[in-house]
Structure 1
Amino acid sequence: MIEKLKIIDCDVHNSLRSYRDLLPYLAEPWRTRVEQAGLGLMFSGYYTPVGVGRKDAVPPGGGAVGSDPDFVAKQLLDPYNVEYGILTSNLFSISVGHDPDFAAALSSAYNDYMLEAWVGKNSRYKGSLLVSFLDPQLAAREIDRLGPHPGIVQVVMSSATRMPLGQRFYHPIYEAAARHGLPIAIHPGAEGAGQSNPPSAAGYPTWYIEWHTNLSQNFMAQLTSIICEGVFEKFPGLKFVFIEGGIAWLPHLMWRLDKNYTALRSQVPWLKKMPSAYIRDHCYFTTQPIEEPDNPKHLKAIFEMFDAEHVLMYSSDYPHWDFDAPDQILRWLAPEAREKIFYANAKKLYNL
């Protein structure tokens, strides 16, 4: 029965109640800066008529949605039989600012807060180690500091960048993650903000609906860069998780990249196999926001094209407006495939 299936939710957005939650974890001069001016994060600025959070996800005591670990457990973990919720934060904008030292300080403070206030309070929460890639050496230092913590299961950073994520600038982060056996997750939210590139290949759109739809373009570019720059040849044990970027585009990208590789492989001589093979061996993708056509057979065919049963993992995106409840999506999946996508793939990847 769908209702009895154990779940691992790979995208649970835990929020701060207030920026003041981070003050006890900040050293000077960052503590005074935050106390006087807040976090100073940059956002894309696109207005959404439905807001960002679910209206029913506001904690009983008030505050931001997703800011009360007990209420999140009551609203998400308990009713949906979620064995583990992978915390992904809401602070991806730290990587599109201009001060690498401040960004690193914020990431460290958040990580300490998350481990104490969330993971330390409920063993069903597992943490994603938030890093800023403005200074990869500082990010690597943070991974070495907390990567061995049993409550940490991956490294997470923004998918909004000023240069593609495969480039050697970022490799100290990947080396550190590989050293600790942690996957790298990328997550959208800051595209078009600060010093990041425009949120679409054509530039800056007008409306949030365009911004949100175009996120897949960025994920396609990042995945192509990671493959072509040889990240998985350099770090053969490294895995990547692509969160909240869609999935229906994946077969097209695999086919096009393989086709181009057959003629242009001299440009990337470090690749030892077809690009699609690296994707199948090293990359995972999360379900939300799932593209569900009117005819389920069409999505089923796409799933078969990229072997979804082995590379796809369930995510709810709680507590955001487009939350996907596990008992409402992909109901047509065979029981074996459902068990892998909603539970077993994540359990294996995260060693849970």
Structure 2
Amino acid sequence: MTIDTTHERKVGSEQVQVRVVDSDVHPTPRYGEIDQFISDRLRTLLAQRSAMAGNPVYYDAPDYNHAFAMRTDSFPDDGNFAGSDPDLTFRQLIMDAGSDIAILGPLPNGGQTDEEAHELAAAYNKWQDTCWLDSENNWHQRYRGSICAAIEMPEEGAREIEHWVGHPYMSQVLINAEPRPSWGHPKYDPVWEAATRHDIPVACHLGRGQHNELPMSPVGFMTYNHDLMVSYSMLAANQVMSLIFDGVFDRFPTLKIVLIEHAFNWILPLMWRMDAIYAARGPENGLKRKPSEYVKDHIWFTTQPLDYPEDKLELTNALEWMEADKLLLFSSDYPHWTFDDPQWVAKHMPEQWRDKIMFQNSIDLFHLPSTVPALPGQKRPY
């Protein structure tokens, strides 16, 4: 899709209220674009690995061989990958879909060691700053970035946070959930400490992991993409329990965790079960509050994927019981094929909570502006 951007690079003189904050948008480097930010050694290794036979993506989505699980219209005409063109993303996500602020969540991949994961995380931070958050590509002031931090190397990850936390367009820290041990282990405290000291949320996106960290159910590896899509929330559930029962939120009382694309309806029965065990066994592990209270004060979830039952009342009841108005952040998952249009999501949220879920929770959590410069012709989803 070719876009004439000559008429787009201007904003209105007035400010408009933010009505949609998209908390899950995936930019991708153009071919060779990340090379300038990594060492010659890693560049050579990545090139060698890309030339090897075989598909590194496990549990492929049904359309993977066709469009790599992306929206087919999100591939730019220059032959680069979906989500690699800031202008095309701006047109489709901001102008046509109506998101007012998009939080970019790049997904560095290709590293096979902890050191490589850290180098790639640092490179993606420089890449965001240079290729998406600069005045040329973020002229509209709608993009916000994520500080990629390799949780595998907590000290180095903390240094990345310290380096980038003052950036005017960096809104969260982004880590992986797959590395062992679980997040409750004290080895990760440098990341939590740096994030809380600067009052910046720590987010984690669904990932497949690599090698010994491939996702596995309690009874072994999954068979199909269907199994993965249903069961991957178990990883997030275990991290939630680790954060609570291992005392992370007591050690860091202001820590904020965002679980991106891990679904969310499972948190309701998990809170019930954690509270029941806590009531039966008592605070033997030193917890100061009921487990559900930690969830409601420290953890947020994105709306995509939105599991929508046939009876909408069932969804409304579940959202009410889990106090979703406090926990949910709108997300589209652009440019993936599972993209949720903000107009569609807003329609399915209870009216009394719509504003909080679609924009206000994100404004409060990420310290975003409540108004942005107007863009002539931008869609307003509701």
TM-score (normalizing by structure 2): 0.84
Q: Does 1:275 align with 2:288?
A: no
3-state secondary structure, aligned to 1:90: coil
Q: Does 1:343 align with 2:359?
A: yes
> Residues 77-116 of structure 1: matches in 2 within 5 Å?
77-91=94-108, 94=111, 97=112, 99-116=113-130
Q: Does 1:202 align with 2:216?
A: no
Question: Could you say what the CA RMSD is over the residues aligned between the two structures, in angstroms?
Answer: 2.2
1:3-58 deviations in Å (ceiling 9; x for gaps): x982100000111122x211211245434544555599x95522222121111211
Residue equivalent to 2:154: 136
Residue equivalent to 1:181: 199
* Aligned equivalents of 1:247, 1:330: Cα separation in 2: 17
3-state secondary structure, aligned to 2:203: strand
1:201 deviation in Å?
2.5
Residue equivalent to 1:296: 312
Among 260, 274, 278, which residue is 1:243 paired with?
260
Larger RCO (CA within 8 A; separation ≥ 6): 2
Q: Does 1:153 align with 2:171?
A: yes
Greater displacement, 324-333 / 249-258: 324-333
* Aligned equivalents of 1:108, 1:266: Cα separation in 2: 40
* Aligned equivalents of 2:110, 2:328: Cα separation in 1: 26
The one-letter amino acid of 1:283's match is: I
CA contact (8 A) 1:9 1:84 kept: yes
1:237-276 deviations in Å (ceiling 9; x for gaps): 110001101111111000000011122334311x111010
Greater displacement, 341-350 / 128-137: 128-137
* Aligned equivalents of 1:154, 1:222: Cα separation in 2: 18
1:142 deviation in Å?
1.0
Shift in alpha-carbon separation, 1:295–1:115, aligned structure 2, 3 A: same
* Aligned equivalents of 1:174, 1:197: Cα separation in 2: 25
1:81 deviation in Å?
2.2
3-state secondary structure, aligned to 1:133: coil
Which runs of no fewer than 5 residues in structure 1 stay unpaired?
A: none
Which runs of no fewer than 5 residues in structure 2 stay unpaired?
A: 1-16, 369-382
3-state secondary structure, aligned to 1:128: strand
Q: What count of residue pairs does the alignment treat as equivalent?
A: 343
1:161 deviation in Å?
2.7
Q: Does 1:165 align with 2:165?
A: no
CA contact (8 A) 1:11 1:315 kept: yes
1:333 deviation in Å?
3.1
CA contact (8 A) 1:43 1:190 kept: no
CA contact (8 A) 1:158 1:190 kept: no
3-state secondary structure, aligned to 2:258: strand
3-state secondary structure, aligned to 2:103: strand
Shift in alpha-carbon separation, 1:295–1:92, aligned structure 2, 3 A: farther
Shift in alpha-carbon separation, 1:246–1:166, aligned structure 2, 3 A: same
Q: Does 1:262 align with 2:262?
A: no
* Aligned equivalents of 2:201, 2:83: Cα separation in 1: 24
1:127-170 deviations in Å (ceiling 9; x for gaps): 11112122111111111111221111111112223322222121
3-state secondary structure, aligned to 2:24: strand
Greater displacement, 27-36 / 56-65: 27-36
* Aligned equivalents of 1:37, 1:43: Cα separation in 2: 10
Shift in alpha-carbon separation, 1:229–1:277, aligned structure 2, 3 A: same
Among 311, 327, 347, which residue is 1:311 paired with?
327
3-state secondary structure, aligned to 1:89: coil
* Aligned equivalents of 1:164, 1:84: Cα separation in 2: 32
Among all aligned residue pairs of Structure 1 and Structure 2, give the percentage whose two residues are the same amino acid. 34
TM-score (normalizing by structure 1): 0.91
* Aligned equivalents of 2:280, 2:101: Cα separation in 1: 44
3-state secondary structure, aligned to 1:156: strand
Q: Does 1:9 align with 2:26?
A: no
1:172 deviation in Å?
1.3
Shift in alpha-carbon separation, 1:209–1:147, aligned structure 2, 3 A: same
**Greater Rg, structure 1 or structure 2?**
2
Residue equivalent to 2:76: 59
